Structure 1
């Protein structure tokens, strides 16, 4: 497994490659993303255990989606059970994937605790319950959550970006995979910055602009019918582009499907 260094402009190329990959099997990829979003929403209903289960299985689901990307390139059919392929790859891989899941869950818990010290979540209750009009201070707290949350999540993302695939496809140990993932992201930080900046505009700025435009025209309720499919399609293409980041940052000595 060879680590590559790429130019900053590759960040845009990854998105173009993600779009191309999405076109190979749009229904299959949309199905996988919808399944994940739907399952995650159901899991949140179960206090503590549901959220923990989603975090624990996130690395496994990541390998499943990346495997689906390979299948789409090879013109193979994408099936829902692809999400579990990492757990079917042997005892050692399954053990390492669950260890990664535990590490990810612990990091998210730590991130949440730190965030709770920086932001007053009590002011956000009107937004979550819909009982009161959101005050300017509550709105400021929302922006603080987004800002600090993004900053705190960067090191977590660097550790977890490639580590599930490195464990499942490159037979790396968990510490080696975490370090290699971090090193790959740091080595290509300029390309990742460009890549994430574009996705931030697509998935956050554009939906917000559409929402504000419809609100100004007094069509606020109709905005969701436009924003929801755009966001779902954008989220799916973004997941497809993860495979492009993998192919650019690492050269595989041997392809294992």
Structure 2
């Protein structure tokens, strides 16, 4: 594999390519994202084990969605079974992709521990279990969770962005895949900054603004009927654009025929 360095404007190009890819099979991609969200919500009902299972299988599911992107480009049918393709790719890849899942679970556990030292979660728990109005201090803690959580997750994201595909498609050992993913993300950090900034506006800022406008008009319940499908489509397009980041940051070495 050859690592590429791309200009910052490539971040916008990745999103455009994600939109194009989504258009190739919108129903298939929406089905995959819906199944993932539905399965994750069911899993987290089971204390501890459910959350660990979701984290463990995240690299496996990532490979599945990236494979679906390949299939859409080749005009092949997308099946939910694509999520299991990494586990069916042989004993070595199956072992490595599950090891990668364990690494991811441990990293998220460490991130959560550090975050608990920075934020008062005891103040936030009552907000999830009651209808009491949000106090200014609770709102401050919410912003701290979002801010510190995003900062702490950046190195985790850099390690995990490409590593599942490098393990499953390029037969890399786990350590090498993690290093290569981090290196590719760092090399193209300007493009990723532009890319993630745009998605933050699309998936967070715009829905919050629309929700505030509807709340001001006393139409808060109606807002969910508008925001939910738009957010679902946006989330699906974002997942499709992951494949564009892969194709831009890595290229396969060309085999030069002998004379």
Q: Map residues 116-135 of structure 1 onto 2, 5 A cutoff.
A: 116-135=116-135
Counterpart for residue 241 of structure 2: 241
Cα distance in 2, alignment partners of residues 81 and 180 from structure 1: 28
**Cα displacement (A) at 1:130:** 2.6
Q: TM-score normalised to the size of structure 1? A: 0.98
Counterpart for residue 136 of structure 1: 136
Say whether 1:205 aligns with 2:193. no
Encode CA deviations 1:19-72: one digit per residue, 9 max, x unaligned: 000000000000000000011111110000000000000000000000000000
1:205 alignment partner, SS class: helix
Q: Number of residues paired by the alignment?
A: 254
Unaligned runs of 5+ in 2: 255-259
Counterpart for residue 106 of structure 1: 106
**Cα displacement (A) at 1:131:** 3.5
Counterpart for residue 176 of structure 2: 176
Please list every run of at least 4 consecutive aligned residues from structure 1 whose deviation after the TM superposition is greater than 2 angstroms: none
**Cα displacement (A) at 1:127:** 2.3
Cα distance in 2, alignment partners of residues 28 and 106 from structure 1: 32
Unaligned runs of 5+ in 1: none
Cα distance in 2, alignment partners of residues 7 and 52 from structure 1: 37
Contact 1:126 1:133 in 2 (8 A): no
Cα distance in 1, alignment partners of residues 127 and 45 from structure 2: 18
Say whether 1:61 aligns with 2:51. no
Encode CA deviations 1:63-82: one digit per residue, 9 max, x unaligned: 00000000000000000000
1:198 alignment partner, SS class: helix
Counterpart for residue 70 of structure 2: 70
Counterpart for residue 27 of structure 1: 27
Cα distance in 2, alignment partners of residues 211 and 131 from structure 1: 18
Counterpart for residue 91 of structure 1: 91
